[in-house]
Chain A
Amino acid sequence: MSLILFLIVPTAIWVHLKLPLLRRPFELLCLLPLAIPAIVIVVGIAPLYRWISIHLTESPITLSGVYSMLILPYTYRSLSAALDAVDIHTLAEAARTLGANTSRVIFGIIMPTIKTGIVNGSFIAIALVMGEFTISNILNYKTFQVVIAQIGRTNGNVAVAVSLASILFVLVILLAIPTKKRRSAVLDVDLV
């Protein structure tokens, strides 16, 4: 998830700021994983993972690659909505005239401004990965969900308990998503 945030946040900002013409193709590309069923992704990616598990490592951490692809549409949508909600062009230009370079504009001004969008995207990604079964099972990795399924075959009660615990965990995360409500503003009566 950090991988996808690390890649997608600066890229999405860059595309919004500097390459407006590429916005549509970029959006299409990011939403593509939604249109492809998980099973098709697995079939396509299985040879690569076979090679990885033979030559590199069998650690489930390598699944982060394919998971990144999976969560891309959700992360991108929430980022894009946050970027559209503020006039990032003017903010970026204001920062530049005050002496900020490109990295300061991105990391110091725009990222804090779209913080809510980044956090929302991350939480949705966690919830999504927590529920993912198809890919890890077919690729033969022992993730949390695969293990629950295996336990379920021998001991139903434990599997139900663990599943409930995981549902509660995800629920807490989803409830923690910051709402749009801002600190209550002390409205000033004077107009100027």
Chain B
Amino acid sequence: MSSSTYVQLVDLAKHFGKVRALDGLSLDIAQGELVALLGPSGCGKTTALRALAGLQELDRGQLIVDGKDVTFQSASKRGMGMVFQAYSLFPHMTARENVEYGLKLKTHRTAGDKRKARSAELLELVGLSTHANHYPHQLSGGQQQRIALARALAISPKVLLLDEPLSALDAKVRTQLREEIRRIQMELGTTTLFVTHDQEEALSIADRVGVMRNGQLEQIAAPSELYDRPKTSFVAEFVGLTNPISGKVSGGSIEILGSVVKTLPGSVTSGTGIALVRPESIDVVASKSGNAKVAAASFLGASCRLNITMNDGAKVTAQLPSSDAAGIGAGATVSVSLLDMPVFVKAAG
């Protein structure tokens, strides 16, 4: 355990019938850090979060927060702030009363004046001080989730737990709110565990992202490392887009698309393998004597995505800055090569 470790999940296990929701999950979170757990549905990420909140009993494992074992402590005494996927504001209370609720209870009891000041401060923080006297049904989804965030933060939680809080919102609000969550989290320095199935969300705001699969952590790393240096084929394929291209592996390199590139640790070391190549690692230049043809081109704003058919029939997707893609349209003959970026290679077949 490093000196800055604040939250420790040690060897957590939980079965639901025959399904192993958690299968020996261990995770350390440093104080003030925002860790996102990412994975497909049913991978156990929500179970892990609920276990830390005290809302899910475990079959095995230990939960340590701030040096104390909280494994058997009830949810009401753990001091965790949680924002749920479903709207969870108490419908009979105004926004202000919702934020003050936790402070009125025995565990966090605060005097009336201080409580009012604290709720005003938090409503200000989430930018909704003008809506303090609104009832939940008078607020939009995004506003409700902001109030829920203020309510969770009001009790000065040891850990802030976010269970897909943005998934019920539309795309624009989601982007705005996730940036706001990050701003508030950094401002308050609250240790945060964020569960999501949206990789863009996880990669954009987390200090570290943990990719989960079948109740276990496949890899946990900083977003850029996770994207550029995946340790398993599952991580490579789950995070971002990849082109599976087969080639011959030898001596830590693979030969694909006429180039030789290094392979990442954990890749296949010999024989034929399938390289998982990112679309941005493929360089495309318009050339009449090129080795491929563009099947379709989609303009995405700052970048352009090209669906390319190689002369040998293989299909690849490349993504390049719109400025570089100028003049390359559907039907154009192009020359495709690889940028010098290490790739993950999985076993063929």
Q: Could you name 17 residue pairs across A and B whose Cβ atoms are closer than 8 Å?
A: A87-B86, A93-B55, A94-B84, A96-B74, A97-B55, A98-B101, A98-B108, A98-B151, A99-B102, A99-B106, A99-B108, A113-B90, A182-B137, A188-B131, A191-B140, A191-B170, A192-B140
Complex Cα spacing A109 to B142, Å: 22
Q: Which listed residue, B77, B92, B102, B161, touches A112 by the CB 8 Å rule?
A: B92
* Chain A 151-170 near chain B by CB (<8 Å), digits 1 or 0: 00000000000000000000
Shortest CB-to-CB span from B91 to chain A, Å, is 6
Residue contact B105 to A104, C-beta cutoff 8 Å: yes
Q: Which listed residue, A87, A94, A112, touches B82 by the CB 8 Å rule?
A: A94
* Chain B 306-330 near chain A by CB (<8 Å), digits 1 or 0: 0000000000000000000000000
Shortest CB-to-CB span from B236 to chain A, Å, is 35
A-side binding surface: helix, strand, loop or mixed?
Answer: loop
Complex Cα spacing A96 to B84, Å: 13
Q: Which residues of B contact A91 (CB under 8 A)?
A: 88, 90
Q: Decide if A186 is an interface residue (CB 8 Å cutoff).
A: yes
Residue contact A191 to B173, C-beta cutoff 8 Å: yes
Residues facing A in B55-111 (CB within 8 A) are: 55, 74-82, 84, 86-88, 90-92, 101-102, 105-108
Q: Which listed residue, A97, A183, A186, touches B80 by the CB 8 Å rule?
A: A97
Residue contact A192 to B75, C-beta cutoff 8 Å: no
Shortest CB-to-CB span from B107 to chain A, Å, is 3
Q: Which listed residue, B74, B87, B106, B146, touches A192 by the CB 8 Å rule?
A: B146
Residues facing B in A72-88 (CB within 8 A) are: 86-87
Q: Which residues of A contact B90 (CB under 8 A)?
A: 91, 94-95, 109, 112-113
Name the 8 nearest CB pairs between A and B, nearest first. A99-B107, A98-B102, A99-B105, A94-B88, A192-B142, A112-B92, A185-B138, A96-B75
Shortest CB-to-CB span from A40 to chain B, Å, is 41
Residue contact B142 to A191, C-beta cutoff 8 Å: yes
- State whether A93 and B84 are in contact (beta carbons under 8 Å apart), knowing that A98-B155, A188-B139, A191-B172 are contacts in the complex: yes
Q: Which residues of A contact B289 (CB under 8 A)?
A: none
Q: Which listed residue, A93, A104, A115, A186, touches B75 by the CB 8 Å rule?
A: A93
Q: Decide if A101 is an interface residue (CB 8 Å cutoff).
A: yes
Known: A98-B76, A185-B137, A191-B172. 7 other contacts (CB 8 A): A91-B88, A93-B75, A97-B82, A98-B108, A101-B76, A182-B137, A191-B173
Shortest CB-to-CB span from A16 to chain B, Å, is 16
* Chain A 113-149 near chain B by CB (<8 Å), digits 1 or 0: 1010000000000000000000000000000000000
Q: Decide if B43 is an interface residue (CB 8 Å cutoff).
A: no
* A187 nearest CB neighbor, chain B only: B138
Residue contact A188 to B138, C-beta cutoff 8 Å: yes
Residue contact A97 to B106, C-beta cutoff 8 Å: no
* Chain B 158-178 near chain A by CB (<8 Å), digits 1 or 0: 000100000000101100110
Residue contact B88 to A96, C-beta cutoff 8 Å: no
Q: Decide if B53 is an interface residue (CB 8 Å cutoff).
A: yes
Residue contact A98 to B105, C-beta cutoff 8 Å: yes
Shortest CB-to-CB span from B98 to chain A, Å, is 9
